[in-house]
């Protein structure tokens, strides 16, 4: 490590000038040269008059700070944490990091812990804590959540919109399925079989991946997680599924920084140990990979943070870099009746990682499906954002453009990598929404 690196700005090692917490992001304003590109990419500023946009919210507001200033502009709570501004900025300003930090500070210092908003946000961002309970009695939960009386109470008491259908909880979680299937040992066997079939050596310690499945695919869409396991084994990878917590994405977005920190610490420690052993980390949700790759290193300096970030991949991305995925897909097909034309929406968090083009690009080579990109607008839900009563309209306004483009597609099936984008797509159009891994599973796994 050069002297420059050792002494460079690593905000996570610094204490904040306002509260003794980490972070002084004022130097981030050094990189801003006022081109306003971030503002043009902000889906909230386009529809919400109260939100001044990322340039003000980020580098400008930070640059104006002094020690002892304690007022974060409350409009930071209108930011949906889509992070498109990061991707827009030609100059590496740490915009979303600035927003995350300001939001955390605002929640800490200026938001009443007894307010309905705080309690509601805390519940929404800790969905992973409640999900295990709900999935113990999935049918009951789904029944209760669907009741209009529940929705009424949610809307009136909690400020959770009654316009949306709660996602159904699966009758068997992914981790239950995984354990029943025989866990890691079974996965190893299957991977070795596949290697032999491919004419490779059965033993290969390089081909091991640790799966960060996230809460949603565990409790709500285990079919996506199962597809991931089967597809990776098919390419000869042994899969490990360690204990894990929510990636923290909904917590960052709600400024619940303590909750996020605890979750992140647990995940980093768990996965860092596996990375040390030579595992790569695979996510099937683009917000999860975003958290591990970008937000963790921006916000924390636990041992192994950078290592986990550098070895984390989204599932398709990984196979594409390490295998001839495109070639294998070109020789395969999927049932047209099941897939056919797919209205594909690239989640903002996929865009931020440079993954927005890959699903369409890869699946275009596959017989039986024709993915159509519905444009690069934001879906508008941004995780928990669109669940809040006061944000619901904004969320739907942002989503309008995507809904329009989806309607232009003949079929009634959509595709995306992000579970909450999928909710929004389904909510706005009634389409059935699939995950690219499910398409791969159908094409490659016999």
Partner 1 sequence: MAIEDDVVVIGGGLAGMTTALSAAREGSRVRLLSHKESTLRFASGLIDVLGYVEGEIVSNPFETISALPDEHPYQKVGEDGVRAGLALFDSVADYAGDHTDRNALVPTFGGRIKPTARYPKHTAPGLASDERDTLLVGFETVVDFDAPVAAEHLRETVPFDVRGVTLSFPGEFRTDAKITRLAHALDKNERVEIGSSENVSQSEPVRIALAEKIKPHLGDAERIGFPAMLGEDHPEDVRATLERKLDVEVFEIPMGPPSLPGMRLEAQFESALKEAGVRITTGNPVVDFESGDNGEISAVVVERNGAAIPFHGEQFVLATGGLVGKGIDSDREGVREPIFDCRVPAPEDRYEWSEDGAFDNHAFARFGVQVDDELRPLDSAGEPEFENLRAVGGVLGNCDVSAEKSASGVSLSTGTVAGRKASDEVNP
Partner 2 sequence: MANDAEVLVVGGGSTGTGIARDLALRGVDVTLVEKGNLTHGTTGRMHGLLHSGGRYAVSDQASATECIEENRVLRDIASHCVEMTGGQFVQLEGDSDDYFEEKLRGCRECGIPAEVLTAKEARDQEPYLTKDVKRAISVPDGAIDPFRLCVANAADAEMHGARIETHAEVTDVLVDENDVVGVEVRHESGPGKRNHARPGTKEEIRADYVVNATGAWAGQLGEMAGVDIEVRPSKGVMVVMNCRQVDTVINHCRPKGDADIIVPHEVTAILGTTDEEVSDPENYPEEGWEVDMMIDQLSKLVPILRDSRTVRSFWGVRPLYEPPGTGTTDPTDITRDFFLLDHEERDGLTGLTSIVGGKFTTYRAMAEQISDHVCDQLGVRGRCRTADEPLPGSDDFSILRDYMDEFGIRSPIGRRSVQRLGSRADDVLKTDGPNPVLCECEAVTQSEIQDAIDGSGTDLNAVRIRTRASMGNCQGGICCHRMANELHPEHDEPTAREALDELFQERWKGERHALWGEQLSQAALNYALHATTMNRDAPEANGGQDAETDTIDFSAFDAGRNGKGVVDGDGGINGD
The answer to whether 250 and 384 have CB atoms below 8 angstroms apart is yes
The answer to whether 241 and 175 have CB atoms below 8 angstroms apart is yes
The answer to whether 223 and 429 have CB atoms below 8 angstroms apart is no
Residues that bind partner 1 (CB under 8 A): 34-37, 39-41, 45-47, 49-50, 52-53, 56, 87-91, 293-294, 297, 306, 309-313, 317, 320-326, 351-358, 361, 373, 401
- The residue within the footprint of partner 2, chosen from 12, 37, 47, 73 (CB under 8 A), is 73
Cα 205 from Cα 197, distance rounded (Å): 17
* Least CB distance to partner 2 at residue 310 (A): 22
* Least CB distance to partner 2 at residue 146 (A): 40
Question: Is 1 near partner 2 (CB under 8 A)?
Answer: no
User: Residue 49 binds which entry of partner 1, partner 2, none, with Cβ cut-offs from 5 to 8 Å by kind?
Assistant: partner 1
Q: Where are the alpha helices (DSSP H) in 35-91?
A: 37-40, 43-47, 54-55, 61-63, 84-88
Question: Is 145 near partner 2 (CB under 8 A)?
Answer: no
User: Residue 361 binds which entry of partner 2, partner 1, none, with Cβ cut-offs from 5 to 8 Å by kind?
Assistant: partner 1
Residues 6+ positions from 125 with CB-CB distance below 8 Å = 250, 251, 253, 254, 256, 259, 384
Question: Is 301 near partner 2 (CB under 8 A)?
Answer: no
User: Residue 199 binds which entry of partner 2, partner 1, none, with Cβ cut-offs from 5 to 8 Å by kind?
Assistant: none
* Least CB distance to partner 2 at residue 80 (A): 19
Question: Is 115 near partner 2 (CB under 8 A)?
Answer: no
Which whole-number Å values give the CA distances from 381 to 187, 322, 344, 376, 434, in the listed order?
A: 35, 33, 16, 14, 17
Residues 6+ positions from 346 with CB-CB distance below 8 Å = 355, 356, 357, 359, 373, 376, 416
Cβ proximity to partner 1: between 188 and 351 the closer is 351
* Least CB distance to partner 1 at residue 353 (A): 6
**What token pair was written down for 342?**
């797919």
- The residue within the footprint of partner 2, chosen from 42, 43, 58, 75 (CB under 8 A), is 75
Question: Is 69 near partner 2 (CB under 8 A)?
Answer: yes
* Least CB distance to partner 2 at residue 10 (A): 10
Question: Is 32 near partner 2 (CB under 8 A)?
Answer: yes
Phi and psi (nearest 5°) for 254?
-105, 5
Q: Which of 444, 439, 381 is nearest to 414 (CA)?
A: 439
* Least CB distance to partner 1 at residue 150 (A): 34
């Amino acid at each position: 490590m050069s002297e420059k690196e050792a002494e460079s700005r690593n905000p996570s090692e610094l204490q904040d000038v306002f509260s003794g917490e980490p972070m002084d992001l004022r130097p981030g304003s050094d990189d801003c040269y006022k081109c306003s590109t971030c503002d043009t990419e902000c889906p909230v500023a386009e529809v919400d008059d109260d939100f001044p946009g990322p340039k003000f919210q980020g580098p400008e507001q930070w640059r104006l700070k002094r020690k002892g200033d304690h007022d974060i502009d409350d409009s930071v709570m209108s930011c949906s944490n889509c992070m498109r501004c990061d991707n827009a900025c030609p100059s590496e300003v740490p915009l979303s990091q600035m927003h995350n930090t300001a939001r955390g500070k605002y929640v800490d210092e200026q938001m009443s812990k007894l307010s309905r908003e705080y309690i509601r946000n805390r519940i929404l961002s800790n969905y992973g804590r409640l999900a295990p309970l709900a999935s113990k009695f999935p049918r009951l939960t789904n029944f209760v959540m669907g009741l209009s009386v529940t929705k009424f109470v949610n809307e009136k008491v909690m400020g959770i919109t009654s316009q949306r259908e709660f996602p159904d909880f699966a009758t068997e979680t992914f981790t239950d399925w995984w354990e029943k299937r025989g866990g890691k040992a079974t996965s190893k066997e299957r991977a070795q079989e596949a290697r032999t079939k491919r004419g490779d050596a059965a033993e290969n310690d390089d081909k091991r991946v640790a799966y960060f499945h996230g809460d949603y695919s565990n409790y709500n869409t285990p079919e996506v997680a199962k597809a991931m396991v089967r597809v990776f084994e098919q390419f000869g990878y042994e899969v490990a599924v360690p204990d894990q917590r929510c990636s923290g994405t909904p917590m960052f977005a709600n400024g619940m920084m303590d909750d996020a920190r605890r979750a992140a610490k647990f995940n980093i420690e768990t996965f860092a140990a596996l990375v040390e052993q030579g595992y790569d980390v695979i996510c099937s949700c683009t917000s999860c990979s975003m958290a591990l790759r970008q937000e963790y290193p921006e916000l924390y300096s636990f041992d192994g943070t950078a290592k986990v970030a550098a070895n984390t991949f989204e599932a398709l991305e990984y196979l594409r870099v390490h295998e001839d995925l495109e070639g294998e897909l070109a020789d395969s097909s999927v049932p047209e009746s099941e897939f056919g034309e797919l209205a594909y929406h690239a989640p903002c968090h996929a865009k931020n990682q440079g993954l927005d083009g890959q699903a369409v690009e890869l699946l275009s080579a596959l017989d039986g499906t024709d993915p159509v990109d519905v444009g690069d607008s934001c879906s508008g839900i941004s995780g928990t954002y669109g669940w809040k009563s006061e944000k619901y309209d904004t969320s739907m306004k942002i989503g309008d453009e995507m809904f329009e483009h989806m309607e232009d597609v003949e079929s009634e099936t959509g595709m995306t990598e992000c579970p909450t984008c999928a909710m929004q797509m389904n909510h706005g159009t009634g389409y059935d929404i699939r995950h690219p891994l499910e398409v791969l599973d159908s094409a490659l796994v016999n």
